[in-house]
């Protein structure tokens, strides 16, 4: 369980989590797909938001209450078919007092081909 109801609903499975890297996997179910049985762009973005947010939360400065996404950009580079598994790996590009920037690469588990590259900015709350 991710601790995020929507990510849990999607079936996101966290494989590794630290302030340095977060890795997750997702089974591409039919209800997460477009009409063509291809993983929906919104599901890709939600997966990336989940792993980036976990990393940002795990690397919060002392006294901070939490984080929230304030910007996200996705480059869709490939497709993942229903029944396949995608992997997400997020790493920090910047960690400051008020924001952190996380880059997430989403790939197909079977062949390592890139599905999307996502860059998101997380704002530090409180502290």
Task: Enumerate residues 6+ apart whose C-beta is below 8 A from 94.
Answer: 100, 101
Q: What is the mean pLDDT of the chain?
A: 96
Question: Residues for the chain: how many in total?
Answer: 127
> Are 44 and 26 spatial neighbours (Cβ–Cβ below 8 Å)?
no
Report percent pLDDT > 90 for the chain: 91
**Four-way CATH pick for 5-125: 3.10.129.10, 2.30.110.10, 3.40.50.720, 1.50.10.20:** 3.10.129.10
pLDDT at residue 41 greater than cutoff 90: yes
CA angle 22, 70, 96 (to 5 degrees): 65
d(C-alpha 99, C-alpha 102), whole Å: 10
pLDDT at residue 91 greater than cutoff 90: yes
Tokens of 54: 């976990």
Tokens of 9: 């609903």
pLDDT at residue 1 greater than cutoff 80: no
- The model's pTM is 0.96
Confidence of residue 22 (pLDDT cuts 50, 70, 90): very high
**Residue ranges of domains in the chain:** 5-125
d(C-alpha 111, C-alpha 105), whole Å: 14
């Amino acid at each position: 369980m991710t601790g995020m109801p929507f990510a849990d609903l999607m079936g996101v499975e966290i494989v590794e989590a630290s302030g340095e890297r977060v890795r997750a996997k997702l089974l591409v179910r039919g209800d997460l797909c477009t009409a063509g049985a291809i993983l929906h762009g919104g599901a890709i973005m939600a997966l990336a938001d989940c792993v980036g947010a976990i990393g940002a939360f795990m690397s919060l400065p002392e006294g901070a209450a939490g984080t929230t996404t304030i910007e996200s950009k996705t480059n869709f580079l490939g497709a993942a078919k229903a029944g396949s598994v995608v992997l997400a790996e997020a790493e920090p590009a910047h960690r400051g007092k008020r924001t952190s920037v996380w880059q997430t690469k989403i790939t197909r588990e079977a062949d390592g081909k890139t599905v999307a590259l996502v860059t998101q900015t997380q704002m530090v709350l409180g502290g």
